[in-house]
Structure 1
Amino acid sequence: MNFSQYTKEFRYNLHLAYPVILGMVGHTLIGIVDNIMVGKLGSTELAAVSLGNSMIFIAMSIGIGFSTAITPMVGEADAENDNGKIRSFFHHGLFLCTILGFTLFGVIVLAKPIMELLHQPKDVIELAKPYLDWVAFSLVPLIIYQGYKQFADGLSMTKYSMYAIVMANVIHVIINYFLIYGIWIFPKMGIIGAALGTVISRIMMVAFMHIILSRQERLKQYFKGFSFDEIKKEVIKKIVNIGLPSAMQMLFEVVLFTAAIWLCGNIGKTSQAANQIALSLASMTFMFAMGLSVVSMIRVSNQKGLNDYKNLVIVARSIFLLAIIIEIIFAVLFVAFHQILPPLFLDMSNEIQMVDNQEVVIIAAKLLLVAAVFQISDGIQVVVLGALRGLQDVKIPMYITFVAYWVIGFPISYYLGEYTELKAVGVWIGLLAGLSAAAIFLYLRFHYLTKKLNEN
């Protein structure tokens, strides 16, 4: 194995990946900012936001997962220089993302009674319900934004979504600050203020993305003269055939992590808060792998469009290798700072909450040690999944992820969390098992497919 043939691809991979990574980190920051600002109000408020967001993440995973179908299709058409196809995939993708956004908003609002069935604390549910209504509405602009983003990603124009997210974050922090705490002429709205901050910043994100893309000389042809007569059944079917299994893959993973939030909620309020802290930090580092997953999808779909399968394998493996190196660095940092990071999320000077907060810090520190190991598996599975999406192979990976997370991961989480002294740490050991199984089986699938393509 010639190591240098992979490392020479690193520079271009990082060039494409860094805007996507910053954009993804920006998405996560919106949640972290909410957690930090709401955490200052108290642990009940933090648990309510955590519970509300757990339902939002499920819907979000379906929307974002579905929208990823646009990128490999646009990427392949771009390599073929087929502008008609690019326009068609963009318009159909945006149309489907809009319908999906409104559908998911409706489903979440109707699904609120589920919170009672999950045996969550009553005071937490009371706060979470009105918060959920507003944040659910923010799914509409978020998923429409994804339509624009995936289209631009497919054309290897990854910077614009980064600009949109940076702008959204600035607006979000300012609105949150004024509305959560009631600064200046604004009412003190607590966690509802945080929800409104999310809605407004996401609407601005879509507006920004539309304006910035439609003004690019290269893209003007795709923004002119949209009509519903252009919407064709066979193109919708093609996008749905890739989008639906992609949405399911993401759903299986996100629901596993959401189940971890609920399992920790059953163990107790401090375990739930600790889980939220560790998850916020692990999500942040996972965004680096997510960024590389998008690059994996773009570059593999380009090579597929060029029918260059030999180079496809080199490009894909260079991205896998880069993801492993980055995640190992984060693992070392998590081990080094596992006791220093958790207190940053809590008001440690609050004497009334002191006992609770100290317990939260102890649990969160242990979880970060497990997170250090599992993010390596998580990084591998997501970049390999990106490569498989680039090959437009989504059905078998959907079954693989289901088995890894729900036949292997969840039973281990449930047993160790509910029936052993490991509690929250046991829940996270289950997550590690599921992610590791997914990483191994998805890589075997990629190896099998590319070997077959190269033989043919």
Structure 2
Amino acid sequence: MNLSKYTSEFKNNLKLATPIMMGSLGHLLVGLIDDIMVGRLGAIELAATSLGNSMFFIAVSIGLGFSFAITPLVAEADGEKDTEKGRSIFQHGLILTAIIGISMFVLLLFLKPILYHLDQPEEVVVLAIPYYEIVAISMIPLMIFQGFKQFTDGLSETKYAMWATILTNIVNITLNFVLIYGFWIFPRLELVGAALGTLISRIVMVFFIYFVLMKRKKFAIYLKRLKLSEFKNKIFKKIMKLGFPTSLQMLFEVGLFTASVLLAGTLGAFPQAANQVALKLASTTFMVAVGVGVAATIRVGNQKGLKNYVELRRIAFSNFLLILIIMFTFSIGFMVFKDVLPLMFTDNLEVIKMASSLLIIAGLFQLSDGLQAVILGGLRGLQDVNVPSGLTFIAYWIIGFPVCYYLGRTAGFGTFGIWIGLLTALTSSALMLFLRFNFLTNKLIKEKNGIT
């Protein structure tokens, strides 16, 4: 096999992916900073943010899934050089993301009583509730931002969202410092301070990206408001048809990881805190995979618009190879530094010991986790979402969750057993999604060449 035909695309892939990686890491860093700063308050407080965020991330997964539909549609329009089509998709998409943000906020408030019935330590739940209530509000600005972000990503202009998230983290770190611990005229609010920092920083993020795009000539045609008569139900339906299965894909995966948090919580506050440490570190490397996955979505979507399926397949496989190389590096890093990385979050020796063992499994599933994320990105570029949704459900809930539950609770392996289940789920997902992508692209090439 001639690897150079794939490695030659690494530069173009990384040019698109790097700002997305940085932006995705920036989003994650908002929560990571909360955990590191809150972790200094104690293991109980760290477990409380874990519980509060577990429900929030389920809502986020639904919202992000819908917003991800904007990128391949805009990328396809960009490949076709149809700016009016791109403008229409963007503005319909922005309205949808705003509605979804408000809906998810209301849903989170409605679901709040569930936190009392998840068999979690009482002291953890008491601290988690006020944190959860404030972070839930941030769902609204977060989803409005996603509307802008997925649009600019679709135009291959990935740096603007990165700038916005860098600013967000500067604001978040500053507010966390003064509001969690108390400084000068600001009171010590601890977990509530962390939540307020997150909310305010996400509001700043929306205003920043809007004003940046307003100042750029390229976006003028897209920001020109649609007349009421230009809004079409069929475009809303098209975005939702692509977005709903995508949100299910994310819900199945995030739901499994949330279940791991809740399962760990039934084992006690320390296992839950250890689970949160390992989960945050694994999520950090996953954001790199998200960046390469979006690059795959954009480039595959462009080639789909051009109907160049041979090139589409080559570019997609170059992204698959790239993420395998990157995630292999992370895998080695997790295993080598498994005893050091947890020290960023806590000085509790019991939590550190448990988290260290989990990082061995996290290191093992880096390859499959990264690969399945990028293949999903390629499939989104093809606008193939229904079958992948079914495959991810099978991988995470028919295969993965029973293994998590059996090894974690029944067999008595604790958090280590739960993470063996996560490894099983991610590996199953990567294998099935690759077979799907390989089948589809071969089929498209044969159909274009008149081969039945």
TM-score (normalizing by structure 2) = 0.98
Match of 1:60 in 2: 60
CA distance in 2, matches of 1:292, 1:333: 19
CA distance in 2, matches of 1:66, 1:97: 7
Task: Please report how far the alpha carbon of residue 228 of structure 1 lies from its aligned counterpart in structure 2 after TM superposition.
Answer: 3.3
Match of 2:45 in 1: 45
CA distance in 2, matches of 1:196, 1:8: 45
Q: RMSD between aligned alpha carbons?
A: 0.8
CA distance in 1, matches of 2:237, 2:163: 32
CA distance in 1, matches of 2:177, 2:132: 19
Q: Residue type of the partner of 1:331?
A: S
- Pairs within 5 Å for 1:364-443: 364-443=355-434
Match of 2:202 in 1: 202
Secondary structure of 1:267's aligned partner: coil
CA distance in 1, matches of 2:285, 2:369: 10
Match of 2:312 in 1: 312
Match of 1:73 in 2: 73
Secondary structure of 2:112's aligned partner: coil
Unaligned runs of at least 5 residues, structure 2: 448-452
Identity %: 52
CA distance in 2, matches of 1:75, 1:215: 22
Task: Please report how far the alpha carbon of residue 277 of structure 1 lies from its aligned counterpart in structure 2 after TM superposition.
Answer: 0.5
Match of 1:10 in 2: 10
Q: Residue type of the partner of 1:10?
A: F
Q: Residue type of the partner of 2:368?
A: S
Match of 1:160 in 2: 160
Contact 2:357 2:416 in 1 (8 A): yes
Q: Residue type of the partner of 2:10?
A: F
Match of 2:90 in 1: 90
Unaligned runs of at least 5 residues, structure 1: 349-356
Contact 2:124 2:269 in 1 (8 A): no
- Pairs within 5 Å for 1:49-448: 49-346=49-346, 348=347, 357-448=348-439
Task: Please report how far the alpha carbon of residue 358 of structure 1 lies from its aligned counterpart in structure 2 after TM superposition.
Answer: 1.2
**Residues 417-426 or 5-14, more deviating:** 417-426
Q: Residue type of the partner of 1:369?
A: I
CA distance in 1, matches of 2:187, 2:269: 29
CA distance in 2, matches of 1:79, 1:317: 20
Q: Residue type of the partner of 1:186?
A: F
Match of 1:26 in 2: 26
CA distance in 2, matches of 1:228, 1:425: 55
**Residues 38-47 or 318-327, more deviating:** 38-47
Task: Please report how far the alpha carbon of residue 234 of structure 1 lies from its aligned counterpart in structure 2 after TM superposition.
Answer: 0.4
Secondary structure of 1:98's aligned partner: helix
TM-score (normalizing by structure 1) = 0.97
CA distance in 2, matches of 1:310, 1:225: 38
Q: Residue type of the partner of 1:448?
A: F
Secondary structure of 2:413's aligned partner: coil
Q: Residue type of the partner of 2:55?
A: M
Which ranges of 4 or more aligned residues in structure 1 deviate by more than 6 Å? Answer: none
Secondary structure of 1:112's aligned partner: helix
**What do residues 93-115 of structure 1 show as CA deviations (whole Å, max 9, x unaligned)?**
00000000000000001101111
CA distance in 2, matches of 1:126, 1:68: 35
CA distance in 2, matches of 1:344, 1:4: 39
Contact 2:48 2:128 in 1 (8 A): yes
Q: Residue type of the partner of 1:428?
A: W
CA distance in 2, matches of 1:216, 1:197: 29
CA distance in 2, matches of 1:444, 1:46: 40
CA distance in 1, matches of 2:210, 2:344: 37
Match of 2:450 in 1: none
Task: Please report how far the alpha carbon of residue 125 of structure 1 lies from its aligned counterpart in structure 2 after TM superposition.
Answer: 1.0
CA distance in 1, matches of 2:28, 2:84: 35
Task: Please report how far the alpha carbon of residue 405 of structure 1 lies from its aligned counterpart in structure 2 after TM superposition.
Answer: 0.1
Match of 1:450 in 2: 441
CA distance in 1, matches of 2:316, 2:380: 12
**What do residues 223-253 of structure 1 show as CA deviations (whole Å, max 9, x unaligned)?**
1233333221000000000000000000100
